[in-house]
Amino acid sequence: MGMSWIITIDGPTASGKGTVAHWVADKLGFHVLDSGALYRLTALAALEEGVAADDVPSLTDLAANLQVQFADYRVWLNGVEVSDAIRAEQVGNLASAIAVHAPLRAALVARQRAFAQPPGLVADGRDMGTVIFPEADLKVFLTASVEERARRRYNQLINKGISANVDALLLDLQQRDERDRTRAVAPLVPAPGAVLLDTSAMSAEDAAEFILAQFAQLDA
């Protein structure tokens, strides 16, 4: 508690974390950390440099030395804008595959914590409340049924003009969820004290309003 607030939003893929985090941060004038982007950037760098998904020393080196810039909803890797490139399902799947490696995760910790700046931060990912910011003022675990999440991801892709198959996406999401939940290091689990929010039948705006209401109680 105090000068610099921290709100963490963890949850499975396409539960709405990024959308809701930006909404909440905009309302409060807080910074945002899209931690998944760091894993996606490491995955993209690995693809570009031909580093294998099990070459832990090289992957850790890539993660430690990422040259990244974030601004608004955009991101640059080594000076090249990769905002769309890191959203590809192939990159998301590789991100999830390499995120099991403890040394790689450790290489990203300080970079993530550096985002905690006044007046506050909204951080989204898998282990924001459990590992990176265990002292957070408010922890949220966002969920939705896997069918609803597959529909959301499908609509996102179609809206960007990328063709997609909803059944393939469903399988993909199930595999990624399973890997994120069962890995030994920083698995996807609600942090102690986290508020659980199932948004299967809730708009992103209502989810953001719910979180803002929870935060207003702390700030009172």
Please enumerate, by residue number, every residue annotated as part of a binding site for ATP.
Answer: 11-19
For residue 14, the Cα-to-chain-centroid distance in whole angstroms is 10
Per the CB < 8 A criterion, the answer to whether 131 and 99 are in contact is no
**Minimum distance, C-beta of residue 5 to ligand CDP, in the bound complex (Å):** 19
**Does residue 132 come out as left (phi exceeding 0), alpha (psi in the -120 to 50 range) or beta?**
alpha
Considering only 5, 23, 39, 215, the residue that binds ligand CDP (CB under 6 A) is: 39
199 is a site residue for ligand CDP (CB under 6 A): yes
140 is a site residue for ligand CDP (CB under 6 A): no
107 is a site residue for ligand CDP (CB under 6 A): no
8 is a site residue for ligand CDP (CB under 6 A): no
Nearest-CB residue for ligand CDP: 36
Considering only 47, 64, 170, 202, the residue that binds ligand CDP (CB under 6 A) is: 202
130 is a site residue for ligand CDP (CB under 6 A): no
**Minimum distance, C-beta of residue 27 to ligand CDP, in the bound complex (Å):** 16
**Minimum distance, C-beta of residue 77 to ligand CDP, in the bound complex (Å):** 14
174 is a site residue for ligand CDP (CB under 6 A): no
156 is a site residue for ligand CDP (CB under 6 A): yes
**Minimum distance, C-beta of residue 16 to ligand CDP, in the bound complex (Å):** 3
**Which H, E and C letters describe the chain, residue by residue?**
CCCCEEEEEECCCCCCHHHHHHHHHHHHCCEEEEHHHHHHHHHHHHHHHCCCCCCHHHHHHHHHCCCEEEECCEEEECCEECCCHHHCHHHHHHHHHHCCCHHHHHHHHHHHHCCCCCCEEEEEECCHHHHHCCCCCEEEEEECCHHHHHHHHHHHHHHCCCCCCHHHHHHHHHHHHHHHHHCCCCCCCCCCCCEEEECCCCCHHHHHHHHHHHHHHHHC
Considering only 17-25, 45-53, 57-65, 72-80, which stretch makes contact with ligand CDP by CB under 6 A? 17-25
Considering only 65-73, 75-83, 201-209, 210-218, which stretch makes contact with ligand CDP by CB under 6 A? 201-209
Considering only 5, 18, 44, 140, the residue that binds ligand CDP (CB under 6 A) is: 18
The β-bridge relationship of strands 80-81 and 31-34 is: unpaired
Give the bridge partners for 121, in sequence order. Answer: 6, 31
Binding site for ligand CDP (CB under 6 A): 11, 13-19, 35-36, 39-40, 92, 95-96, 99, 125-127, 152, 156, 176, 180, 199, 202-204, 207
